Amino acid sequence: MKPWQWPEDRWRNCVNRVRAGKRLTPPWPEGKRCAVALSFDVDHETNELRDGGKSIGRLSWGQYGNRRGMPRIMSLLQKYDIKASFFVPAVAANLYPDEQRAVTGEGHEIGIHGWIHELNSLLPPENERDLMMRSADMLEMITGARPVGLRTPSWDLSESTLSIAREMGLLYDSSLMADDSCYELLENLERTGVVEIPVEWIRDDAPYFMMSRIGPEDVLAIFMREFEQAYQEGEMFQLTFHPHIIGYRSRIWILEELIRAAKAKGDVWFATHRQVAEHASTAL
Amino acid sequence: MKPWQWPEDRWRNCVNRVRAGKRLTPPWPEGKRCAVALSFDVDHETNELRDGGKSIGRLSWGQYGNRRGMPRIMSLLQKYDIKASFFVPAVAANLYPDEQRAVTGEGHEIGIHGWIHELNSLLPPENERDLMMRSADMLEMITGARPVGLRTPSWDLSESTLSIAREMGLLYDSSLMADDSCYELLENLERTGVVEIPVEWIRDDAPYFMMSRIGPEDVLAIFMREFEQAYQEGEMFQLTFHPHIIGYRSRIWILEELIRAAKAKGDVWFATHRQVAEHASTAL
Amino acid sequence: MKPWQWPEDRWRNCVNRVRAGKRLTPPWPEGKRCAVALSFDVDHETNELRDGGKSIGRLSWGQYGNRRGMPRIMSLLQKYDIKASFFVPAVAANLYPDEQRAVTGEGHEIGIHGWIHELNSLLPPENERDLMMRSADMLEMITGARPVGLRTPSWDLSESTLSIAREMGLLYDSSLMADDSCYELLENLERTGVVEIPVEWIRDDAPYFMMSRIGPEDVLAIFMREFEQAYQEGEMFQLTFHPHIIGYRSRIWILEELIRAAKAKGDVWFATHRQVAEHASTAL
Amino acid sequence: MKPWQWPEDRWRNCVNRVRAGKRLTPPWPEGKRCAVALSFDVDHETNELRDGGKSIGRLSWGQYGNRRGMPRIMSLLQKYDIKASFFVPAVAANLYPDEQRAVTGEGHEIGIHGWIHELNSLLPPENERDLMMRSADMLEMITGARPVGLRTPSWDLSESTLSIAREMGLLYDSSLMADDSCYELLENLERTGVVEIPVEWIRDDAPYFMMSRIGPEDVLAIFMREFEQAYQEGEMFQLTFHPHIIGYRSRIWILEELIRAAKAKGDVWFATHRQVAEHASTAL
């Protein structure tokens, strides 16, 4: 049956599988006006491995994330004393356990990002559940920190992802786009208590530097507009970076400029995704 | 037979199925120099539903249109007291009936935009007729306003679309691109009395923010050039936006800047597509 | 056999089918320093017809070329008293004979651009020959002017195109890219006496406004750099426009700015492609 | 088996086939602060030949590299007295032997770049070995200079490429991307003594001018940021150009501006890839 032939319950069910519920915007802690939540998807070689790992060039590109991208990012976060969230495929953490131990050791958050950056929607449901649980275990085994949040690889949820997250007792997901601020996820219109920290292609480095090519100044200008308006609205400014994309000499300064501009406001709350989700969940 | 083998009547028939007739440019009402016709294609989740509705991420993106895009748009239109046209798939109106009742309640126009954003050219003719009629009925049932205009989803007309529009007594279509100003549509070289309010990818937010990526400043600059020249020529400036595209913090200001610039002229007629079509039809 | 397995004569034959010979740069007439050769590919609806003509929207876009694009172009050329070259598929000329009669009537050149914008490399050789000859006849029948030059649709030459052009006694082709200035075409390393007026994607409006999207200011800047350097080198600045691309309110000014900048030099020779080819051929 | 089903040794073997080892950054010679290594991939017609050589237009584009691109590049390098590296498919050198003799005659380096720009990963291993060896022989036969370095066409290494390079005793490869500075290549975690001079799409002209389209000013700005930061870090700034891409009137100035900016520092070491690799290898 073609979608234009569907009876109403068919498209309603589609829409209602996972949907945005209540917006969660309690006043920010300590009288702060705006939250800034930085995240880094540490894919490294898994981007290429998940597609079969044939390209030696792309694997080397992934390694760049570890050798040059991560050190530049970590150094900036230290310089400005900011805690951020790192979403890491289990295989990437396994390839670079010291890197991830340093991440958690310096007070950053580590979150689930698949086993080998696989697409959830292509997995048989029983395997998806297994991989998500093993991924969480692996990250904990390596870093000692138990993940409480999920960013699906390629922001791709299957029909089972949310219910697996609930079974695992996860606090939040950060893969969907129905709002600028946190909201409660509904599953088949039922409240879940799971917080969504929404992402957006607009606030991601990949669309500008991989899928298309625009100048870094233009990218900063877009991010700055997103931030300024979030600040005006007193809500949240969430960003997604990748060490193998933002971590280059000609791009890393974008991150520093953003941090500086936000710091200059004086009343911005830099927080990990976990902190944001915990705070947002007080409004559930 | 390959097109280069076609006899003359074959390619002539192709071209003549739907063609631009007389340009319709009576002097604008009240001594105004230029008309500005803003339109919003309120696709929300239907963009994804029409392709099968599998991607939970893209569905959430559609919901953004309702949660953040539409409120920002409505608030700007109120602030500047401007009436605009909203083209809404029946399923989107059904998902958000209050949203569309507010649209018409504040004096905006609602127009046909397919049942579930389906492509007309892929429909069997009997189904196309049925869906167009049911779409009009659904919008009227929800909002109390009977649509008089059509914007085909993805600007895609089938060979039957125009004749269905005529059968339904529609005043205008707004999906074609043969001119900058209104014109009468010809069907097989025969006058139809149906007004075309032409669209263009140049004056649409999607090519800049979805298909390609260019800076918002550049997009405003392009729109401003289109407007300024329309003003110089004393004709019409028509725009197509989407709540889930223009409705972001880093983009919504483009709409406000355009409105301000047009207001500043002092002799611009902001009108709904229906008003433009009714006015243009006096020159039929 | 894979290309890396080819014997030397196989790849040499490939390269030598059509190749650049002697560069043809006699001093410009009347002591001019630089030649500017403007060309317009008047595809109109044939762009869509050659692919089957199914899309009513794209056909309307083609008609825009006739209704708005061409009048703006013709008006600019009149204003600055410049003669240019128009390459027109026979079917487009047949659809708009008055348009093309006005083109030649105002002293512009008309050149061959296929029958229905078909790709030469996809034609059986006997059909290619027939279509090229019929195309030339049709343009002459409509305008009274016999074409002496060829621009292949989509700059696509078959292995037969050059030899057909020679058989027809054409003065020049303008579809290849081996130089910035005119050169003699060699066919299998043999001199042909046919002048090539090279084109380039860099000096074409389509890559910037159709295949990709960049701001019109950036496009002008690229064209200006090409012109300035051509002027410094004392060679030729050749451009390819399309009425349905450059003819919009937000783009047509690019053409005017270019003309103004070139006029301002005082010693630029604006010439049709035919004039350039006739002049260049004195150096054969 | 799907990658998410792979046992650990499977993805480890994938990653470890070719990997970055020790970073090689001995202090630059003569107290220089930063190295600038310019490279030119002289593909000319082979880009099209490797795909079958059917397109006469694309072949002419390749010839542009020889007729206009290379002379402009050579003239700039002479003007600023800079030595650079040219990676040349054997077939391209065979088509233009005088060009390549001039390259080595003026003190530049010539390196391996495939036989006919074939993709290594698509070759049967025995053919890859044969082609690499014949390519080196051909370059030496034409220019008298024996290549010591390799840039794989399209930066595409097969599983055999590195071991063939070792068998041939090559000093370096320049096709991978795991760092900003030179490093030793590991093969299955074993040291090879082969230096990698890493490339990057960011520092390549093709992504900006072929795959996407952005203004030349933006491209220069990106290159300048890469250079400035390399200079700050005291490391290396490596660039990849193509005569048929950078060699145009509207782009060649980018190369000159870069050279000028680097010269202006006063303590930059312009070196061929061979010189860089020889220097880096002192830190092995």
Residues contacting residue D196 through CB under 8 Å, at least 6 positions apart: D20, D172, D173, D174, D176, D178, D179, D182, D183, D184, D185
Of D15, D23, D211, nearest to A45 by CB-CB distance is D15
Q: Is A11 on the interface with B (CB under 8 A)?
A: yes
- Determine the Cα–Cα distance for residues A205 and A240; give it in Å rounded to an integer: 7
Q: Is D204 on the interface with A (CB under 8 A)?
A: no
Q: 3-state DSSP call for residue D24? A: coil
Q: Is C50 on the interface with B (CB under 8 A)?
A: yes
- Determine the Cα–Cα distance for residues B42 and B84; give it in Å rounded to an integer: 12
Q: Is D220 on the interface with A (CB under 8 A)?
A: no
- Determine the Cα–Cα distance for residues A68 and A81; give it in Å rounded to an integer: 20
Helices (DSSP H) in D70-158: which residue ranges? 70-79, 90-95, 97-105, 125-143
Percent composition of chain C: helix, strand, coil (DSSP 3-state, to 5) = 50, 15, 30
Best residue in D250, D254, D255 for a mutation probing chain C (most C CBs within 10 Å): D250
Q: Is C138 on the interface with B (CB under 8 A)?
A: no
pLDDT at D213: 79
Give pairs for A25-33: CB < 8 Å, separation 24+: A25/A181, A25/A182, A25/A235, A25/A280, A25/A283, A26/A279, A26/A280, A26/A282, A26/A283, A28/A234, A28/A269, A28/A279, A29/A269, A29/A279, A30/A269, A31/A267, A32/A267, A32/A268, A32/A269, A33/A231, A33/A234, A33/A265, A33/A267, A33/A268
Q: Is D48 a member of any domain?
A: yes
- pLDDT one-digit tens code per residue, B159-213: 999 999 999 999 999 999 999 999 999 999 999 999 999 999 999 999 999 877 7
pLDDT at A209: 92
Q: Is B5 on the interface with A (CB under 8 A)?
A: no
Chain C residues with CB under 8 Å of B159 CB are 56
- Determine the Cα–Cα distance for residues D18 and D59; give it in Å rounded to an integer: 34
Of C64, C217, C253, nearest to B178 by CB-CB distance is C64
Percent composition of chain A: helix, strand, coil (DSSP 3-state, to 5) = 50, 15, 30
Of D52, D53, D68, nearest to C179 by CB-CB distance is D68
Q: 3-state DSSP call for residue D190? A: strand
Q: Is A136 a member of any domain?
A: yes
Of B4, B177, B211, nearest to C115 by CB-CB distance is B4
Q: Is B9 a member of any domain?
A: no
Which tokens hold the place of C20? Answer: 């650049």
Best residue in C113, C249, C257 for a mutation probing chain B (most B CBs within 10 Å): C249
CATH number reported for the structural domain that contains residue D133 in this entry: 3.20.20.370
- Is the pTM value of this prediction over 0.95? yes
Q: Which of A248, A204, A199 is nearest to A72 (CA)?
A: A248
Of B54, B131, B250, nearest to A222 by CB-CB distance is B250
Q: Is D17 a member of any domain?
A: no
- Determine the Cα–Cα distance for residues B281 and B278; give it in Å rounded to an integer: 5
Domain range for residue C162? Answer: 22-283
- Return the bridge partners of B240, or none: B39, B204
Best residue in B5, B6, B15, B199 for a mutation probing chain C (most C CBs within 10 Å): B15
Q: Is C88 a member of any domain?
A: yes
Q: Which of B124, B130, B74, B77 is nearest to B102 (CA)?
A: B74
- Determine the Cα–Cα distance for residues C275 and C269; give it in Å rounded to an integer: 10
Instruction: Give whole-number Cα distances, A157 to B214, B224, D238, in Å.
Output: 28, 40, 40
pLDDT at D156: 97
Chains touching chain B through at least 3 C-beta pairs below 8 angstroms are A, C
Find the residue in B nearest to C118 (Cα): B4
Residue contact A53–D3, C-beta within 8 A: yes
Instruction: Tell me the shortest Cα–Cα distance from A93 to chain D, in angstroms.
Output: 12
Report the percentage of chain A scoring pLDDT > 70. 100
Residue contact D95–C15, C-beta within 8 A: yes
Q: Is C16 a member of any domain?
A: no
Chain B residues with CB under 8 Å of A177 CB are 57, 60-61, 64
Q: Is C222 on the interface with D (CB under 8 A)?
A: yes
- Determine the Cα–Cα distance for residues A181 and A189; give it in Å rounded to an integer: 19
pLDDT at A115: 98
Q: Is B248 on the interface with A (CB under 8 A)?
A: yes
Q: Which of A207, A258, A255, A199 is nearest to A228 (CA)?
A: A258
- Determine the Cα–Cα distance for residues A172 and A180; give it in Å rounded to an integer: 15
- Determine the Cα–Cα distance for residues C238 and C223; give it in Å rounded to an integer: 10
Tokens 């930059």 locate to D268
Q: Is C129 on the interface with B (CB under 8 A)?
A: no
Residue contact D59–C202, C-beta within 8 A: no
Residue contact C67–B20, C-beta within 8 A: yes
Q: Is A214 on the interface with B (CB under 8 A)?
A: yes
Q: Is C280 on the interface with B (CB under 8 A)?
A: no
Instruction: Give whole-number Cα distances, C39 to A181, C119, C221, C265, D124, in Å.
Output: 52, 20, 19, 20, 48
Q: C181 φ, ψ to 5°?
A: -115, 170
pLDDT at C197: 98
Instruction: Tell me the shortest Cα–Cα distance from D55 to chain C, in angstroms.
Output: 7
- Determine the Cα–Cα distance for residues A159 and A143; give it in Å rounded to an integer: 30
Residue contact D4–A123, C-beta within 8 A: yes
Q: How many domains does chain B have?
A: 1
Q: Is A95 on the interface with D (CB under 8 A)?
A: yes
Find the residue in D nearest to A208 (Cα): D212
Which tokens hold the place of A210? Answer: 């991989």
Predicted confidence pLDDT, tens digits, chain D (284 residues): 999 999 999 999 999 999 999 999 999 999 999 999 999 999 999 999 999 999 999 999 999 999 999 999 999 999 999 999 999 999 999 999 999 999 999 999 999 999 999 999 999 989 999 999 999 999 999 999 999 999 999 999 999 999 999 999 999 999 999 999 999 999 999 999 999 999 999 999 999 998 777 899 999 999 999 999 999 999 999 999 999 999 999 999 999 999 999 999 999 999 999 999 999 999 99
Label residues B130-168 b or e (16+ Cβ within 10 Å = b).
ebbeebbebbeebbebebbbbbbbbbbbbbbbbbbbeee
Predicted confidence pLDDT, tens digits, chain A (284 residues): 999 999 999 999 999 999 999 999 999 999 999 999 999 999 999 999 999 999 999 999 999 999 999 999 999 999 999 999 999 999 999 999 999 999 999 999 999 999 999 999 999 989 999 999 999 999 999 999 999 999 999 999 999 999 999 999 999 999 999 999 999 999 999 999 999 999 999 999 999 998 777 899 999 999 999 999 999 999 999 999 999 999 999 999 999 999 999 999 999 999 999 999 999 999 99
Q: Is C245 a member of any domain?
A: yes
Residue contact A177–B64, C-beta within 8 A: yes
Q: Output the average pLDDT for chain B.
A: 97
- pLDDT one-digit tens code per residue, B103-116: 999 999 999 999 99
Q: Is D93 a member of any domain?
A: yes
Size of chain C in residues: 284
Tokens 């870069």 locate to D258
Question: What is the maximum span of chain B, computed from C-alpha positions, in angstroms?
Answer: 58
Chain A residues with CB under 8 Å of D121 CB are 54-55
Q: 3-state DSSP call for residue A57? A: helix
Which tokens hold the place of D143? Answer: 């220019």
Residue contact A213–D221, C-beta within 8 A: no
- Averaged pLDDT, B276-281: 98
- Determine the Cα–Cα distance for residues A127 and A175; give it in Å rounded to an integer: 20
pLDDT at D257: 98
ipTM rounded to 2 decimals: 0.97
Predicted confidence pLDDT, tens digits, chain C (284 residues): 999 999 999 999 999 999 999 999 999 999 999 999 999 999 999 999 999 999 999 999 999 999 999 999 999 999 999 999 999 999 999 999 999 999 999 999 999 999 999 999 999 989 999 999 999 999 999 999 999 999 999 999 999 999 999 999 999 999 999 999 999 999 999 999 999 999 999 999 999 998 777 899 999 999 999 999 999 999 999 999 999 999 999 999 999 999 999 999 999 999 999 999 999 999 99
Residue contact B225–C67, C-beta within 8 A: no
Of D53, D63, D123, nearest to C19 by CB-CB distance is D63
Instruction: Tell me the shortest Cα–Cα distance from C144 to chain D, in angstroms.
Output: 31
Residue contact D127–C4, C-beta within 8 A: yes
Angle between helices D97-105 and D125-143 (to 10 degrees): 70
